Amino acid sequence: MSKSKRRALRQAQEFLKRNILIDGHNDLPWVIRTDPEARGDVAAFGLDRLGNNRDTDIPRLRKGQVGAQVLAAFLPTSIPRPATVTLEQIDVIREIETLHADDFFPVRRASDIAKARRKGKIGSIMSVEGGVGLENSLKPLRAWHALGMRVMTLCHNGNLDWIDSATDKPRHNGLTDFGRSVVAELNRLGVLIDCSHASPKAAHDVLDVTVAPIALTHSNAFALCNHPRNAPDDLLARLPDNGGIVMATFVPAFIRQKTRDALRPFQDDHGKAPDIADASELDAAKRTSIAEWEAGGPALLAAHIEYMARIVGVDHVGVGSDFFGGPNPPGLDDASAFPALFAELFDRGWGEPALAKLAGRNFLRVLKEVEKRAEKMARPEKKKRKAA
């Protein structure tokens, strides 16, 4: 590493001591569920230990100077018993918060992030990734919210009965009437709506009806890498008026066009990876492609951040790693690597005020605004009850 790179890294580390870093998406609960030894048992996973072949654990989060982490209760669209699995995934997050209370602080309001920081803990923000567990009912949303959900990714890699996924053949031309009801209920509850996996048309439909800011918690720029999961310019351009945020992600095939192209043989025409007999074949293709990168991950991801910031402005960008236990870009290998990304941006001439927004202030603002809109919606109800 050159002297200038070392200097930039020290600058980034000092910067993160002064400024909150909020990572917008991490699939750690699914990693714990699918771990062959832990099988969903948080205690058996040993989150407090520096584990081999992991991208996320407490030592790595601490080294990466993560101040708050969105933990996703993820489940695949086609999984059996999705309502039950969603609750099991939520339970994993709550177990993380309970068993590792010395390191994690539950975030149920935006103000809890500051509390976590004062206590020297990592704020734990619960999301549900994929609305398949609703089973076409709004009522689970209220239960999930009561259990701690504050962010919801509407769908995953397959369509639901009420929303089109970005990586599936369009079925609804975006969002159905029930999908609009989901948006309205999430607005009422004060849950941040995440359109990362929604088709562009569905995301536009959400923007047409939401009364609160939305997020793309783990998406990059489609113009730089044409994976269907990335955000096109016309969608990005609507975020400032909405007050929302796009959060750059570390997924290799969303960063580099050559990696995206190398993995196309393992995907259908819509970008969804079909079931294959030997999953290791896909994993091997990912690792081979990543090993051939001409430049490190921080530089390539910084290009996406700068591109999106030119469209949405520095008030509407953030970072959402989407660590998922798989192969990651060189230089962005695990949760300890966040300072390397900020070092790259310092090296490119970014100033501390803009980087503070990128690191966490923008996401915190969005969470606060979502809460305010929900509180405003609740006031007429309170007045009606008093009048009655």
DSSP for 148-202 reads TEEEEE---SS-BTTB-BTTS--SSSSB-HHHHHHHHHHHHHTPEEE-TTB-HHH
Query: Which pLDDT score, from 0 to 100, does residue 385 have?
Result: 54
Residue 19, SS3 per DSSP: coil
Nearest-angstrom CA–CA distance, 275 and 381: 48
Task: Say whether pLDDT at 277 is over 50.
Answer: no
Report whether 191 contacts 151 (CB < 8 A): yes
Q: How confident is the model at residue 285 (pLDDT cuts 50, 70, 90)?
A: confident
Report whether pLDDT(387) > 60.
Answer: no
Q: Hey, what are 185's tokens? A: 């209920």
Q: Is the pLDDT of residue 205 over 50?
A: yes
Look-up: residue for tokens 């030119």?
A: 310
Instruction: Look over the chain and give the mean of its residue pLDDT values, rounded to a whole number.
Output: 95
Across 218-239, average pLDDT: 98
Half-sphere exposure of 6 (CA within 13 A, CB side): 3
Query: Across residues 352-363, what is the average pLDDT?
Result: 98
Amino acid at 294: E
Give yes or no for residue 322 having a pLDDT over 60.
yes
**pTM for the complete prediction?**
0.95
| Amino acid residing at 233 | D
Angle CA 346–348–349, to nearest 5: 65
pLDDT at 283: 79
Q: What is the DSSP letter of 221?
A: B
Instruction: Give the span between the Cα atoms of 132 and 31, in whole angstroms.
Output: 19
Rounded to whole angstroms, the Cα distance separating 240 from 383 reads: 32
The answer to whether the beta carbons of residues 46 and 53 sit under 8 Å apart is no
Q: Which two tokens stand for residue 258?
A: 């050559």
Q: What is the mean pLDDT of residues 352-362?
A: 98
Q: Are 189 and 151 in contact (CB under 8 A)?
A: no
- Cβ neighbour number for residue 121 with a 10 Å cutoff: 18
Q: What is the pLDDT of residues 62-103, one digit of tens each?
A: 999 999 999 999 999 999 999 999 999 999 999 999 999 999
The structure tokens listed for 274 are 């079909």
Instruction: Answer yes or no: is pLDDT of 336 > 70.
Output: yes
Per-residue pLDDT tens for 2-56? 888 899 999 999 999 999 999 999 999 999 999 999 999 999 999 999 999 899 9
* Cα separation values, 50 from 39, 53, 69, 319, 356, Å: 18, 9, 18, 23, 28
Mean pLDDT, residues 327-351 taken together:
96
pLDDT above 70 as % of the chain? 96
Q: How far apart are CA 145 and CA 142, in angstroms?
A: 5
Helix (H, G, I), strand (E, B) or coil at 318: strand
Domains, the chain, in order of start with CATH, read 3-273+281-387 (3.20.20.140)
Rounded CA separation 243/249 (Å): 20
Share of the chain above pLDDT 90, in %: 86
Secondary structure letter of residue 66 according to DSSP: -
